[in-house]
Amino acid sequence: MGLKERIIEALCKDKSMPKEVIEALRQSSSSNKSIKSILIEKAGFSEKDFLVLISNVLGIPYLDIGKFSFPEENASFIPEEAAFKYKIFPISKIKNVLTLATANPLDVVVFDDIKMKLDVDVELVLSKEEDILAALNRLYKKEESISSIIEEADLNAEIVGNEDLSIQGYDLIAESEKAPIVKIVDLIIYEGLTKRASDIHIEPAETSLQVRYRIDGVLHKALEVPKQNQNAILARLKIMSNIDITESKIPQDGRFKVRIQGREVDFRVSSLPTKYGEKFVLRALDKSNLSIGLEKLGFSPYPKKVFEEAIKKPFGIILVTGPTGSGKSTTLYSVINSLNKPDRHIITIEDPVEYQLEGITQIQVHPEIGLTFSSALRSVLRQSPDIIMVGEIRDSETADIAIKASLTGEMIFSTLHTNDSVGAITRLVDMGIEPFLVASSLILTSAQRLCRKICEKCKEPYTKVPSYLREKLGLDSKVTLFRGKGCPACSNTGYKGREAILEVLPVDDKIKEMIIKREPESSIIKYAREEFGFKSLREDGIYKCINGVTTPEEVLRVT
């Protein structure tokens, strides 16, 4: 029995696995899709989930090598070139047995070649590819410091050329072999990505060029570059982003794409003229962050159940609300991605298009030429869509068209800037939408915030919670909570990654009636609590505290 058949057999025993996933695996030979890509796209598997599955099927241990440090002597176990080429890491060598970490245990030709050339027996463990590459960089001292390159840089260097990197994309590792200024920019980006930065801020100051990374929603100072290098670095960014290199007095927008460790990451670029020069913000748009399945987004059981029921409806409107940077777009993209099937016509209207999704028609609005959210939405309705995602409802015209479209057979997803879920109802009415139209079209409103997650590698329980936190969050004095004590994996912050906390308000017949009667928000919330256990943002945050996902301080910070 081959590996594919063994995987299908193992998954068939998992009653929670959708039948469509099993069927897609059986047809993988004709679809030219790998087993891994099918499980990631259709079952919401992460790379670790896939490797753990392979581990169970093949009986090969899974090892999280990111948790371990390895002696320098391991570098002598295998040639450096082979290690990087085949993405294998030397774990240990005992007598004649060489243990290697790999993300591809089926590459038997490679392992046979190693056995023959090194005259060893090979044993395998499974690890994530990105962890293997990071460990190889540490072992073979490939991590070049930005500061050392700055010292070597020619302060009079000029950037020349006008290659369109924004379209083609380029390889950070290959490019880093070039001129010092190019290497500085590439390593700033590389380091930002390896530290999981969502935004890279490059900010001119009076005597230097400062770089900060936004990691898990919080800005951290990374380094300062000498002022003499500023113009060359900013020119390099402009060339990469395909924006006007000669213009420095007006804001500009651009984008570019990079390849890093086998994956492509898009960057959205914004420049802004300031007193000391142009400030750049690079927003990383990594499609690998788009989850499939609400559990992958970190939804608690109640919001997950309500949301899953809502998105199964054939028509209506679902609104996700929250301030800028609260993860609204990621939630909508993930939901849309999960609904993306060959028998559905999905169109998105965005400003800008952040993630490019296969099989989905995406429209970039251009208000300067008259292509606004409202005008685009009118045109989209003539394209016979099943599902429409409107990036944001900004005005009454867009709201009116979206709501009327949802009443004529379309499923509409969109976002609003309100503080809570019930506030979306009030906002629509304030925009001039008749309450009976709001009531007839609305399926669900939700509000969300992003809170930092406790680092799993240094998480510890504690019971001595400050009294003011207990009082503000209504925590029992005997409850055990968790925190991160700080470790290298989280840069000693105690946090790693972010997760949504959510409140959801399903709109049933009673709430529709209350909307038409213009009853106050407090009455709607009171009914929702009594009828289906509505929980506020803070209450969902408390649930995540008790379950060891985040800390009381984080819940108070974001709610």
Q: What is the pLDDT of residue 356?
A: 79
The CATH number assigned to the domain holding 167 equals: 3.30.450.90
Whether pLDDT at 465 is above 90:
no
Domain that residue 255 falls in: 146-288
**CA–CA gap between residue 163 and residue 175 (Å, rounded):** 13
What's the whole-number mean pLDDT along residues 370-393?
A: 91
* 282, 311: one domain: no
Highest mean pLDDT among 24-28, 76-80, 500-504: 500-504
What's the whole-number mean pLDDT along residues 29-47?
A: 71
* 298, 430: one domain: yes
Q: What is the pLDDT of residue 385?
A: 92
H or E, element range at 208: strand 208-215
* 284, 239: one domain: yes
Using an 8 Å Cβ cutoff, are 461 and 485 in contact? Answer: no
The CATH number assigned to the domain holding 302 equals: 3.40.50.300
Q: How far from the centroid of its chain's Cα atoms is residue 556's Cα?
A: 23
**CA–CA gap between residue 291 and residue 361 (Å, rounded):** 19
Q: What is the pLDDT of residue 157?
A: 34
pTM of this prediction? 0.66
The region of weakest confidence among 24-33, 220-229, 485-494 is: 24-33
Using an 8 Å Cβ cutoff, are 334 and 292 in contact? Answer: yes
- What's the token pair of residue 256? 């570019």
Whether pLDDT at 20 is above 80:
no
Sort strands 170-171 and 252-260 into parallel, antiparallel or unpaired: parallel
212 domain residue, yes or no: yes
- Report the number of secondary-structure helices (H) and strands (E) in the chain: 24, 19
Q: How far from the centroid of its chain's Cα atoms is residue 68's Cα?
A: 25
Nearest to 106 by CA among 40, 58, 43, 39: 58
Gyration radius of the chain's alpha carbons? 26
* 420, 282: one domain: no
* 321, 432: one domain: yes
Using an 8 Å Cβ cutoff, are 62 and 55 in contact? Answer: yes
H or E, element range at 231: helix 230-241
| pLDDT per position as a tens digit, 110-166 | 898 889 888 899 999 999 888 888 888 888 765 455 555 555 554 333 333 334 444
**b/e for 323-344, b at 16 or more Cβ within 10 A?**
eeebbbbbbbbbbbbbbbeeee
| pLDDT per position as a tens digit, 469-502 | 778 788 877 788 899 988 878 878 899 989 999 9
556 domain residue, yes or no: no
**CA–CA gap between residue 385 and residue 408 (Å, rounded):** 11
Question: In the chain, how many domains are there?
Answer: 3
Cβ contacts of 500 within 8 Å, gap of 6 or more: 297, 298, 299, 326, 327, 331, 448, 449, 450, 451
* 59, 44: one domain: yes
Q: What is the pLDDT of residue 161?
A: 33
Split at pLDDT 50, 70, 90, the class of 229 is confident
Q: What is the pLDDT of residue 226?
A: 85
Whether pLDDT at 441 is above 90:
yes
CA contacts within 13 A on the Cβ side of 366: 5
